[in-house]
Structure 1
Amino acid sequence: MDPVCKYLVLSLPQSTDSKEWLERSLLDGKCQAIDFKVPDFQIGTLDSLVQESEELAKFDTQLGTSVAKIVDILAGVLESQASIRTVNSKSVLSYIEAFSWNTSKYRLDKSIKELVQLISSEALTLDNDVRTSYQTYQNAKSNFLAADRKKNGDLSIKSLHDIVKPEDFVIGSENLTTILVAVPKNLDDDFKKSYETLTQFVIPRSAKLITFDSEYKLYSVSLFKKYEQEFINGAREKKWQPRTDFTYDEEVLNNMRKEFDLTRANEQKSKNDLIRLAKTAYSDIISAWFHIKAIRCYVESVLRYGLPPQFDLSFIKFTPNNFGSIDKAKKELVAKFGYLGGDAISNKSSLHEYASLVDPDYEPFVVYQVEIV
């Protein structure tokens, strides 16, 4: 699905001027800057922060992918999309823009490593549960579609439990059997002329028309069991459709009568289970994702700007009508705050022939782009 909103999550050293500039000057004040309120964490050593930085990047990407997958799943099974994007009974954008750390669930006396493990493990377990539930639903849907084809398809594939009767078959004979054949209507004359000689010991004049639809006529033919497979092979060569999938058995017929209703009920139940789980998972994984993102921004800001932690985090919001302005906004941010990366970033012209050695993807401040689908 297309994004409903995009954000630049931006961290800058604390400065009254920078906050005012974001609100009034970035893109001529045409984009919204929103405070991203993040608590202070138990930092530990800088070495541990470098290790956590790699883990946080991995989990950030995984949870973003998980959210997108859940949205795709819900979009495929829900008629209305209006109720997909809710987190803790709020719209997802309201939740993000008023983000508040859940201190009761993720206590701040825990280390960053402990918090990351707790948040990510819960979210990824939910993600696995959704994937398993989705596969269960896909299997149930496939079974129901197969049963539906049997119920409503043409006579070459249709379930015959409501069509045939005991008198259409030779039942209880040691030597004789009955084969059902769906004959295309344009081959009906050929069938009548040749079925008796298709193999040895076909009972003369045993072909009985049971029913027909727009494409096929369904016949029963009786013959000696010894020549059953030979008759089937010959029928296929003539483009008739032997219904070898059908054997007259009352118990089997009773099960077939129940199959459609059972598969339909199972498909509906697994669909409802999936919707309930996926909606819960969307809410919980979005929440986990932004708690991970909060820690990631904090860790990267400490690594970039040093101790003590003194930086401001902001969401810069872009709606679909100004998605095209994101690159321009990044360039304006680099022009304004490039000095944070030193002369190599703020004044590339001074590097002359060495300018090409500066990583073009390097940002002189902490910034991430987030898409909400």
Structure 2
Amino acid sequence: MANYWFVSVPTSGSKQNTWQNLKGKLKEAAEVTLYTVPEFKIGTLDALVLISDELAKYDASFESSANKLADMLRNVSKDPNAGIDKSLVINDRPVDQYIKTFEWNSMKYRTDKSLQEIADILNQEVISIDNFMKSKMTNYSQVKSTLQSMQRKDTGNLAVKNLAGLVKKEYFVLGSEYLTTLLVAVPKNSAKDWQSKYESLTQMVVPRSSQKIAEDDDYGLWTVTLFKRVADEFSNKCREEKFIVRDFEYDENILALQKKDLAEVAATEKEQQQALSRLAKTNFSEVFQAWMHLKVLRVFVESVLRYGLPPDFAAMCIMPRPKMEKKTKEVLNENFGSLGGARGRIDNRSNSYDALEAEYEHLFDKNYYPYVFFEIGWDPSKR
């Protein structure tokens, strides 16, 4: 699991100085990248508070959409056990590289619009992709279900499976006004019983007409020729003996049509699977870009609300190295804990503050940080 933290703090001298200072302190614990955040149109304080709540809801929705597209790509993959991390790219860049080198797309999301307009554009884009992909996935699932249903008929033992691929024309008496050939699934341990009994189960059974034409682990498939008028009675007698008369009539036209239908459905399923895979990759890129732009928008709004006007903060992407998350947060709290007032001071406490925090912990949001903090935890290979 790769964790990407989006942090902003008031500048000390300049954004570059603030970034370089923190980068130096975290050089062993994390990578730190400075983001360039556009100068958005701020509007009123009330509008900022309202959009802050709205952006939080959009954030969760965008994350869900990105996850669904990653899951969709895995589900339509012909090798579901293969990792999909290499398939998920943003503008031909791996997710990791895109996040670290993120730049605001001012051509697509114009910064001369209000914060609300930008947020609405992002949200409508993701909703549209969600609806489109849901429709495509529904269509594909229907075709896949039809194919699986058709293929299931070719599985199982000889008592239940489709017999079309096992029989030949020469096994049957065809075109006779009086005679018919039946196919009977006989348990393997009852083969001798069948051979000794089938001729006498009813009258009008053609002697020595039975031959075994297929066998699996459970059953042998036998033919038997008899007069049509006793076919129902013969089937009933077979049922009493635990012999299973298969409902099968040899018809070359029907067999050819079944084979054609299966081939057509299989081709349609493959075509839709490939198309859906391409669409999932393309739209994952679009949704993830929207998600990243939303994160930056949240960083801006929360920074203005927390640090005031004019906007003067350094926005950074921090990627802790494996097992260094705790160390990274310790460094952040040591340097910026005072931004959070009482909570910040408690976060930077000595052991003597443990009792104080325990007493007042219920007053604090457990996800609160003294500085602006958002994150993306992303591990597409396990999604």
TM-score range normalised by the length of the shorter chain: 0.7 to 0.9
1:110 and 2:81 equivalent? Answer: no
Give the structure 1 partner of residue 360 of structure 2. Answer: 355
Counterpart in 1 of 2:338?
Answer: 339
Instruction: Kindly report which structure 2 residues correspond to 1:162-177, keeping only aligned pairs within 5 A, or say none.
Output: 162=165, 163-165=167-169, 168=172
Q: Could you report, residue by residue, the CA deviation over 1:296-321 in whole angstroms, capped at 9, with x for unpaired residues?
A: 111122222222222111000135xx
Corresponding residue for residue 303 of structure 2: 301
Secondary structure, counterpart of 1:35 in structure 2: strand
Query: CA distance change for structure 1 residues 248 and 29 in 2, over 3 Å: closer, same or farther?
Result: same
2:54 is the counterpart of 1:55: yes
Equivalent of residue 279 in structure 1, options 281, 299, 318: 281
State the Cα distance separating 1:148 from its structure 2 match.
4.3
**Contact kept in structure 1, 2:4 and 2:319, CA below 8 Å:** yes
In 2, Cα distance between equivalents of 1:202 and 1:123? 72
5 Å-filtered alignment, 1:1-373, equals: 3=1, 5-16=2-13, 18-26=18-26, 29-76=28-75, 77=77, 81=84, 83-151=86-154, 154-162=157-165, 163-165=167-169, 168=172, 179-195=182-198, 203=205, 205=207, 208-209=210-211, 211-215=213-217, 216-221=219-224, 222=226, 228=232, 235=238, 238-244=241-247, 246-319=248-321, 322=322, 324-347=323-346, 349=353, 351=356, 354-359=359-364, 360-373=366-379
Q: Which stretch shows the higher mean deviation, 208-217 or 304-313?
A: 208-217
- Stretches of structure 1 that go unaligned for 5 or more consecutive residues are none
User: Would you say the 8 A contact 2:140–2:269 is kept in 1?
Assistant: yes
Asked if structure 2 preserves the Cα contact closer than 8 Å seen for 1:34 and 1:316, the reply is yes
> How far apart, in 2, do the equivalents of 1:234 and 1:318 lie?
75
* Distance (Å, rounded) in 2 between the aligned partners of 1:64 and 1:353: 33
SS state at 2:69 partner:
helix
What's the offset of the Cα at 1:73? 3.1
Change (3 A) 1:90 1:366: same
Q: Distance in 2 between matches of 1:52 and 1:202?
A: 86
**Given the superposition, is the C-alpha separation of residues 123 and 356 from structure 1 closer, same or farther in structure 2, using an over 3 Å criterion?**
closer
Aligned letter for 1:115?
I
Unaligned runs of 5+ in 2: none
Which residue type is aligned with residue 12 of structure 1? Answer: V
Give the SS at the match of 1:208.
coil
TM-score, reference length from structure 1: 0.83
Maintained 8 Å contact 2:29/2:320: no
Q: Summarize the Cα distance change of 1:19–1:232 in structure 2 as closer, same or farther, 3 Å threshold.
A: farther
Between 144-153 and 86-95, the greater mean CA deviation after superposition: 144-153
Residue type at the aligned position of 1:70: L
Measured after TM superposition, the shift of residue 273 of structure 1 is 0.6
C-alpha RMSD over aligned residues: 3.2
**Closer, same or farther: CA 232–329 of 1 in aligned 2, 3 Å:** farther
1:8 counterpart SS class: strand
1:237 is displaced (CA, Å) by 6.2
**Deviations 1:223-246 (Å, cap 9, x if unpaired)?**
657873x765665565544433x4
CA shift, 1:91, in A, is 2.4
- Describe the SS at the equivalent of 2:186: strand
User: What is the identity percentage for the equivalent residue pairs of Structure 1 and Structure 2?
Assistant: 34
Query: Quick one: structure 1 residues 240 and 291, their matched pair in 2 at CA, closer, same or farther if it must change by over 3 Å?
Result: farther
CA distance in 1, matches of 2:6, 2:306: 15
Q: Equivalent residue of 1:217, what SS?
A: strand
For 2:277 and 2:46, locate their aligned partners in 1 and report how far apart those are by CA, in whole Å.
Answer: 43
Residue type at the aligned position of 1:35 = L
Q: 1:180 to 1:310 in 2, by over 3 A?
A: same
Give a deviation string over 1:64-120, Cα, whole Å, max 9, x none.
222233223334516574641311122222222221211221222222222112112
| In structure 2, distance between residues paired with 1:128 and 1:346 | 47
Instruction: Give the CA deviation at 1:284.
Output: 0.8
d(CA) in 1 for partners of 2:184, 2:5 = 66
- Matched residue count: 362
Partner of 1:317, secondary structure, is strand
Moved more, 250-259 or 125-134: 125-134
What is the alpha-carbon distance in structure 2 between the residues aligned to residue 112 and residue 233 of structure 1?
77
Q: SS state of the match for residue 99, structure 1? A: coil
